[in-house]
Amino acid sequence: MADRLKGTHILILETREEAQFSKLLAEQGAEVVQCPMFTIQDAPDPAPVEAWIRRAIDKPFDDLVLMTGEGLRRIMKLARTRGLDQALVAALAKSRKFTRGPKPGKALREISLEAQQTTEKPTTEGVIEMLGKLDLKGHRLGLQLYPDKDHSVLTGALAAQGAEVDTLLPYVYDSKAADASIVAAIDDMAEGRIDSIALTNLGQVRRLMEAAKAHGIEAKLRAGLERTLIASVGPAVSGELAAHGLRTDIAPAEDAYFMRPLISAMAVVLTEKKPKVPVT
């Protein structure tokens, strides 16, 4: 149904795939307020990434675990610049491939590969649970990680299963440039100009809190969130909100932790409320 969100102002915190999210919201009539959280950049030193790629080619991993689609795309980007992309795809085809949720699976399909198994829940805990059912003793396991996360629990669990874990961090976040946009978004919420903030990954919650703390406006952020409906794509985001003493007002149905179900859930709640008139 088109225009389900007509007249509403939705704040989204841009990271990797929010351009598509913004498009879907706009198709439902929402006025989307976009706030970049950070930019994603290649790892500042490409040497470790290239070395990992060459190890994967020279002796294909028994198992490959992809935590993000962005990670695989960054790996392939460097492989192409080194003329190693075809050899890498051929090597990865020989590995069992496991993904944290659907996004890495999509990135695999872009290079004509398929995941053998995907987590039921797109969380680190879900990855540990999925791999915990497998015999990894003696396996060489390639593990693509992502920034701003302590992965020691995951790597420790895999090592305890007897796997030889070869980790890679192919990209980094640059957050300083986005601070002005975040402060403006907090002002918008505090002044009642936003109907709902839609969160699609837990890193957005952390970044929002860190920026508010850095600029001394934590109280304003919490006041703004008190008058703004908080929409969460799933349990990982809701758990992070709870860890900061924040609530979840809107969430998709269980086991439907994707953008479209989140938008549908938002439409149900927001259409029951009169859209706010922007404060001038």
- Whether residues 154 and 261 share a domain: the answer is no
- Whether residues 79 and 134 share a domain: the answer is yes
Residue 211 lies in a domain: yes
Which domain CATH number covers 141?
Answer: 3.40.50.10090
User: Residue 128: is its pLDDT beyond 90?
Assistant: yes
- Minimal CA–CA distance to 193: which of 17, 24, 33? 33
Residue 102 lies in a domain: yes
Go through the chain and tell me how many residues it has: 280
- Whether residues 159 and 51 share a domain: the answer is yes
Phi then psi for residue 24, to 5 deg, are -65, -40
Residue 162 lies in a domain: yes
- Whether residues 133 and 219 share a domain: the answer is no
- Give the burial string for 64-83 (b: 16+ CB within 10 Å, else e): bbbbbbbbbbbbbebbeeee
- Minimal CA–CA distance to 200: which of 250, 245, 164? 250
* Among the ranges given (46-55, 86-95, 205-214), the one the predictor scored with the smallest mean pLDDT: 205-214
Considering just the CA atoms, what is the radius of gyration of the chain in Å? 20
Angle, CA 67 vertex, CA 260 and CA 173 arms, to 5° = 90
Residue 255 lies in a domain: yes
Predicted confidence at residue 17, as pLDDT, reads 56
Mean pLDDT, the chain, as a whole number? 91
pLDDT above 70: percentage of residues in the chain: 95
* Among the ranges given (158-162, 244-248, 260-264), the one the predictor scored with the smallest mean pLDDT: 260-264
Instruction: Give pTM, 2 decimals.
Output: 0.65
pLDDT one-digit tens code per residue, 92-127: 999 999 999 898 999 999 999 999 999 987 889 999
Predicted confidence at residue 44, as pLDDT, reads 94
Predicted confidence at residue 279, as pLDDT, reads 46
Q: Which of 129, 151, 173 is the last residue of a domain?
A: 173
Q: Which of 156, 173, 190 is the last residue of a domain?
A: 173
pLDDT one-digit tens code per residue, 29-44: 999 999 987 778 899 9
Residue 1 lies in a domain: no
Number of domains in the chain: 2
- Whether residues 95 and 208 share a domain: the answer is no
3-state secondary structure of 238: helix
Domain with 82 in it: 42-173
Residue 4 lies in a domain: no
Predicted confidence at residue 55, as pLDDT, reads 98
Q: Which of 141, 173, 205 is the last residue of a domain?
A: 173
Residue 280 lies in a domain: no
- Whether residues 57 and 154 share a domain: the answer is yes
Helix, strand and coil content of the chain, in percent to the nearest 5, comes to 45, 20, 35
Residue 27 lies in a domain: yes
Angle, CA 14 vertex, CA 77 and CA 188 arms, to 5° = 160
- Whether residues 48 and 169 share a domain: the answer is yes
